[in-house]
Amino acid sequence: MIMTVDDFFDKVITVRMAQDKSAVDIIDQTLLPGTIKRIEIRTKEEVWDAIKKLKVRGAPAIGVAAAYGIALLASQIDENSYDAFYAKFRELKDYLASSRPTAVNLFWALNRMEDTVQRNQNKTIPEIKEILFVEVEKIREEDVQISRNIGEIGFRLLKELKKDGREIGILTHCNAGTLATAKYGTATAPMYLALEKGWAGTDMHVYCDETRPLLQGARLTSFELYNAGITTTLQCDNMASILMKSKKIDIIFVGCDRVAKNGDAANKIGTSGVAILAKHYGIPFYVCAPSSTIDLATPTGEEIPIEMRDPDEVTEMWYKERMAPKGIGVFNPAFDVTDHSLITGIITEKGMCHSPFDQAFAALGIGR
């Protein structure tokens, strides 16, 4: 059923702290779109598993979930001296950081929580625990504002395209939507902002790549956008070229998991192919990136660690029966890197960045 955008955002809160602060409360994204079910996670193993198994996923949401997780787990540490508390906090932090390697927001959020502990070492342990709960709400609220700012910049691009009055064709890959963040998404933020500013869902037509093998485009992005009332079409990944050739796509927005200093951007597997096609057909290709996703310590995409995932995600996970011979070798990288030369612009909450990206990041004060 199609809802208003506000109803939709109320229903789909990706991650939050349970009211009594005894659990992290997430939508289990592995069950979408058929079942909207919230689950409560309490132990370090449950937090790790939720991130690893993609019950909560998408770079900013992983960061927010890890921050909630460490705040919760820190509240359970039974130590009275700062040194003993901090040692246990570090163990938990290292454990959660081992859940997924590519999205830099995971490490960014955990480091920010650790800084919070260190900055407050003169306080009592109960006070530090309370401060961590406050900090994580700040991270969540900031994430909402960051997505909104990205949306404002992306919306200006949509308005330019709208000048000639026709429906705008937008392509996106994977899910960089509300389910991947605290509210507006990154790649979807321009679309949600357009709705908030009075556009009809029919003013734009969003084409969602299905996103093999885990189907985030089919299960999550098309679910989100359709329910928000936006004209949405789903296609298999290998259909993006024909869409572009037939002039249905005016602009492409994708999210990212880590941007290197030179602008190379890691995002869901298949993104770099979309960028190569876009270059061929002359379609602008924008990466939407909170500045926390820009990792100036990583010089180029070559140094971004790429997560490799289980073969059965390719051979059997979504099928009634196995769709490949037993014993076949399977290549299943979760991400690829789009070369900076293929990127029209990187939209951050601080402003638009064009090549040379390292200079654009510096000019916006990113990384300072």
Q: At closest approach, how far in Å is the CB of 322 from ligand MRU?
A: 23
Burial class (CB in 10 A: 0-12, 13-18, 19+), 368: exposed
Hey, what are 151's tokens?
């949306």
Within 13 Å of residue 183, how many CA atoms lie on the same side as its CB?
20
CA dihedral (200, 250, 164, 3) in degrees, to 10, reads 0
**Residue 38 β-bridge partners:** 27
Burial of 237-267, coded b for 16+ CB within 10 Å and e otherwise, reads beebeebbeeebbbbbbbbbbbbbbbbbbbb
Is the CB of 113 or the CB of 179 nearer to ligand MRU?
179
Q: At closest approach, how far in Å is the CB of 358 from ligand MRU?
A: 21
Q: At closest approach, how far in Å is the CB of 233 from ligand MRU?
A: 19
Query: How many Cβ atoms from other residues are within 10 Å of residue 333's Cβ?
Result: 11
Binding residues for ligand MRU, per CB under 6 A?
A: 54, 57-60, 103, 174, 176, 180-181, 185-186, 216, 255-257, 267-268, 334
Is the CB of 128 or the CB of 257 nearer to ligand MRU?
257
Is the CB of 132 or the CB of 185 nearer to ligand MRU?
185
Is the CB of 208 or the CB of 360 nearer to ligand MRU?
208
Is the CB of 149 or the CB of 181 nearer to ligand MRU?
181
Q: Which helix (H) or strand (E) holds 318?
A: none
Residue 160's SS3 state is: helix
The active-site residue, picked from 203, 250, 257, 264, is 257
Q: At closest approach, how far in Å is the CB of 328 from ligand MRU?
A: 23
Residue 276's SS3 state is: helix
Residue 237 annotated to the active site: no
Indicate the residue whose CB is closest to ligand MRU.
255
Is the CB of 56 or the CB of 117 nearer to ligand MRU?
56
Q: Catalogue the E-assigned strands of 197-354.
A: 204-209, 231-235, 251-254, 258-260, 265-268, 285-288, 294-295, 335-338, 345-348, 351-353
DSSP state of 337: E
How far are the Cα atoms of 135, 186, 256, 280 from residue 345, in angstroms, in the given order? 31, 14, 13, 17
Q: At closest approach, how far in Å is the CB of 149 from ligand MRU?
A: 14
Q: At closest approach, how far in Å is the CB of 58 from ligand MRU?
A: 4
Show which residues are catalytic: 257
